[in-house]
Amino acid sequence: ATLPAGLLRRAAGFTPSLDSDFTFTLLAGHKECFYQPMPPKASLEIEYQVLDGAELDIDFHLASPEGKTLVFEQRKSDGVHTVETEVGDYMFCFDNTFSTISEKVIFFELILDNMGEQEQEQEDWKKYITGTDMLEMKTEDMLESINSIKSRLSKSGNIQTVLRAFEARDRNIQESNFDRVRFWSMVNLVVVVVVSAIQVYMLKRLFEDNRKSRTSAPSRLANIEN
């Protein structure tokens, strides 16, 4: 999903979720910050990539609820960071103030673990399974299988999201290279045409000068005889 620029300037937190990804455009000379509320003893993973724009670089800053700098990176094209959280709002910023003309297209993904929702889901499954005689598996075994499937599906989704981001960045690089090759090919073609025209003109002038010199020689001899 692409976030409009107006929403990016708001200091609003994301709705609680286990996995969220966003793509937005950061204008040249601008900085955008986001806030994510977290419970204690959870895990926050942030992955970002610069998909398009100049040298594909950005400054990244991650700060704790107390304002302590946890991560600070300059001129990076991508990065992955995981922190064990305490209660409060975590701030992470993307800084493009060093660029004066190039905007950047940035993709980032948040993965939240141990948010306290899994235990509640397990209790809900226990209530659902209780009293079912058709199932021969123990409740614990079934919950373990369900959690394993859920974890693998989540990892598969995360990998697919990251691969799509890589594919988008590679496509942008290829399109940029194609435009660059096409531009310089046109420049070379124009240079070849101009040089060829100049050579033809110079050769034509050379032959014209030779003809004039040959026709003027007999006339000078006639004048001398007279």
C-alpha closest to that of 19 among 150, 126, 200, 157: 157
The overall average pLDDT reported for the chain is 77
- On the question of pLDDT at 162 being above 90, the answer is no
C-alpha to C-alpha distance for 66 and 14, rounded to whole angstroms: 19
Give the model's confidence band at 136: pLDDT under 50 very low, under 70 low, under 90 confident, else very high: low
How far the first Cα of the chain sits from its last, in Å, is 97
110 touches 46 (CB < 8 A)? yes
Position 32 scores a pLDDT of 94
What does the alpha-carbon distance between residue 150 and residue 160 come to, in Å, rounded to a whole number? 15
pLDDT of residue 131: 53
Written as six digits, the tokens of 151 are 């974890």
Say what the pLDDT of residue 46 is: 92
Q: Structural domain boundaries of the chain?
A: 1-115, 118-226
Q: Which residue has the higher pLDDT, 166 or 216?
A: 166
The predicted pLDDT at position 178 comes to 84
Decide if pLDDT at 61 tops 90. Answer: yes
SS3 assignment for 153-185:
HHHHHHHHHHHHHHHHHHHHHHHHHHHHHHHHH
* 1-115 is classed CATH 2.102.10.10: no
Cβ neighbours of 65 (radius 10 Å): 15
The answer to which of 12-21, 54-63, 134-143, 180-189 has the lowest mean pLDDT is 12-21
Task: Write the pLDDT tens digit of every residue in 7-57.
Answer: 333 334 444 447 788 889 999 999 999 999 999 989 899 999 998 888 889
- Quickly state the pLDDT bin for 217 (edges 50, 70, 90): low
- Structure confidence by residue, pLDDT tens digits, 139-151: 666 777 777 777 7
- State the pLDDT at residue 4: 37
Dist. CA 119–CA 39, nearest whole Å: 15
pLDDT one-digit tens code per residue, 76-133: 999 999 999 999 999 999 999 999 899 999 999 898 887 665 555 555 555 555 555 5
- CA dist 206 and 219 (Å) reads 21
Q: What's the pLDDT band for 2 if we cut at 50, 70, 90?
A: very low
